[in-house]
Structure 1
């Protein structure tokens, strides 16, 4: 029985800041961001969006009534949680109108958590092939204004419907995992922005990729050339390119050229959004499938998931005959229609997020076009609005 990703959909803000403009404002050469980091635009998340609304906006458009009836497991992977106790998945389940019998949990391990959720979901569906699971990686990457990590911010959510006989990608049953206590990136409970040792984290990322990639090949007996393309977690797109280059010596010149060409498609949409934390790998997968016309049914893709702290996993999936039918085909057009904001507007929005305090707060949602929005806080409870309810 095949189990894997049946549908794949994405949501982010309707706003972005141009990276060349941001570089100039920070007295940096634009190519440092455009080439050195590999980013062209960065999603700007307004106060009216958070982990919950991004997740719901990602999932709702792809779900049919039959899907909603069949879903009995909802997992939200995030490191942008809104509560130290209550799972964001509980809120998302209500907004989506899921069955009350659904199991709802939130998972955390930096950028890796959505992959943990995907592995749990496929095991669940293998045991219950008449059911479906919904896995969402939803995050807002915040390092602070005028910080070294600022150009690697962003935000959004990727929703994946997991089922038997999937339309998009049949997942393999084997993977290779590595987990160690590493202080390359963390966010203590008293911080609203992340702490990171940037160069160290980049080195750990590549070390982990090399370890789990080679471990997977040894474990399964698969050859590198059996993989049509490699898809990476992309906190910024240059990071994935560095990791890919470390694997090129394993294959011949023709395969190297093919992998590099596929990678350019896999990072195309990430260049326009920025860092998604838990969703970054899966936006790259979506970018690959939407923009790469050299892929075909039966191709096997290798996927590398990484979460600082640190945990990494390498696994594979096989493209299915009708994989385009399960994709968010309107995404490139939606990204092109976003509104550009100035650096000063971006800074105002960054500082206007719902404050971590007990007071009642109200957020102006008039300019937010999305179905699900955060309207504020009342009696220490976040207030969400479904405009279609």
Structure 2
């Protein structure tokens, strides 16, 4: 039985800040952001949006009445949780109007947990082939204003339906997971912004990719020539390049050249959105599938997932016939966003609900998203369907 990703959708905020403008405001050479880090634009989050509204917006793009009735489980992967106890999946399930006989859970392991969610979903479908599992990777990456990590912020959600006989990507059985207790990135319970050792984290990332890919080769006997493309977790697009070059080294043959070209296709959307944490790998996959000129049905795609702390996994999937029809048009949606000034971005950054324990009501007049965070009352978040 084939099990995999039946369809995918992406949602982000309606606002972005241009990183050349941000660099100028910060007194930094713009090339440091656009070339050195590999980012051009960054999603800006108004206070009326959070992981629940973004996750619900992405999932809504996937669902039809026929698909909805088969969903047995909602898994939300995030490191931007809004409650230490209650799963964000419950809020999303309610906003989407899903049946009450639906399992809802939230998963955490830095940027990796969406991949764990997909693997768990695959197991659920194997046990109950008539069921479909909705996996949502939703995050808001925050490092603070005028900090070294500011250029690697971002926000958005990728929603995926995992089912038998998928229309988009069939998952192969061999996967390699690898974990170690490493302090390269973390966010204590009392902090709204993450702590990170950037250079160390990059080195760990490359090492985990090489460890998992080499182990995969040992288990399967497959080589680079067996892949149409490799996709990577991309907290910033240069990270994916570092991972691939760590594997290719000085190779300049046809296979290496092709993989580099496909990496470029996979970077395009992330360059305009920024860091999605759990969703970064899956936005890069959507970018590859919508921008590559060479992929065809039957192509094998490699996926490297990484979460600081640290855990990595390498696994593969086979593209299905007509896969292009089972995703929303990300490029068009990104083109429809509104650019905001650096001052507007800073104001919105500082207006997030965060760890505020006060009653608050946000002005949502300028937010035309399908789902809105209205505010908080009696320590409870209030959501609205627009």
Query: Normalised by the shorter chain, which TM-score bucket?
Result: over 0.9
Q: Aligned partners of 2:7 and 2:95: how far apart in 1? A: 19
Q: Aligned partners of 1:74 and 1:104: how far apart in 2? A: 5
Within 5 Å, give how 1:6-21 maps onto structure 2: 6-21=6-21
| Structure 2 counterpart of 1:113 | 113
Q: Aligned partners of 1:222 and 1:74: how far apart in 2? A: 34
Contact in 2 for aligned 1:224/1:251 (Cα 8 Å): no
Contact in 2 for aligned 1:224/1:250 (Cα 8 Å): no
Q: Aligned partners of 1:64 and 1:270: how far apart in 2? A: 27
| Structure 1 counterpart of 2:335 | 336
Output the TM-score relative to the length of structure 1.
0.98
The runs of at least 4 aligned residues of structure 1 exceeding 3 Å deviation read 249-252
Q: Aligned partners of 1:90 and 1:340: how far apart in 2? A: 32
Q: Aligned partners of 2:228 and 2:25: how far apart in 1? A: 41
Contact in 2 for aligned 1:44/1:155 (Cα 8 Å): yes
1:259 to 2:226 alignment: no
Contact in 1 for aligned 2:224/2:255 (Cα 8 Å): no
Within 5 Å, give how 1:221-232 maps onto structure 2: 221-232=221-232
SS at match of 1:269: helix
SS at match of 2:16: strand
Q: Aligned partners of 2:133 and 2:293: how far apart in 1? A: 29
Are the structure 2 counterparts of residues 160 and 251 from structure 1 closer, same or farther at C-alpha, using a change threshold of 3 Å?
Answer: farther
Taking only aligned residues, the RMSD between alpha carbons, in angstroms, comes to 1.0
- Alpha-carbon distance, 1:358 to partner: 2.4
1:240 to 2:240 alignment: yes
* CA deviation profile, 1:112-160 (whole Å, cap 9, x unmatched): 0100000000111111111100000000000000110000000000000
1:34 to 2:34 alignment: yes
Q: Aligned partners of 2:45 and 2:215: how far apart in 1? A: 38
Within 5 Å, give how 1:308-327 maps onto structure 2: 308-327=308-327
Q: Aligned partners of 2:323 and 2:122: how far apart in 1? A: 18
SS at match of 1:243: helix
Q: Aligned partners of 2:196 and 2:249: how far apart in 1? A: 30
| Structure 2 counterpart of 1:69 | 69
| Structure 2 counterpart of 1:158 | 158
Contact in 2 for aligned 1:75/1:117 (Cα 8 Å): yes
Contact in 2 for aligned 1:68/1:97 (Cα 8 Å): no
SS at match of 1:313: strand
SS at match of 1:174: coil
Q: Aligned partners of 1:249 and 1:238: how far apart in 2? A: 15
1:288 to 2:288 alignment: yes
Structure 2: stretches of 5+ with no match in the other structure: none
| Structure 2 counterpart of 1:184 | 184
1:215 to 2:215 alignment: yes
* CA deviation profile, 1:287-331 (whole Å, cap 9, x unmatched): 0111112100000000000000000000000000110121112x2
SS at match of 2:173: strand
| Structure 1 counterpart of 2:373 | 374
Structure 1: stretches of 5+ with no match in the other structure: none
Output the TM-score relative to the length of structure 2.
0.99
SS at match of 2:365: coil
* CA deviation profile, 1:29-72 (whole Å, cap 9, x unmatched): 00000000000000001111001000000000210111110000
| Structure 2 counterpart of 1:347 | 346
Q: Aligned partners of 2:181 and 2:210: how far apart in 1? A: 18
Contact in 2 for aligned 1:225/1:251 (Cα 8 Å): no
Count of matched residue positions in the alignment of Structure 1 and Structure 2? 386
SS at match of 1:82: coil
Contact in 2 for aligned 1:178/1:313 (Cα 8 Å): yes
- Alpha-carbon distance, 1:258 to partner: 0.3
- Alpha-carbon distance, 1:225 to partner: 1.1
Are the structure 2 counterparts of residues 342 and 316 from structure 1 closer, same or farther at C-alpha, using a change threshold of 3 Å?
Answer: same
Which stretch of structure 1 is more off in the superposition, 320-329 or 296-305?
320-329
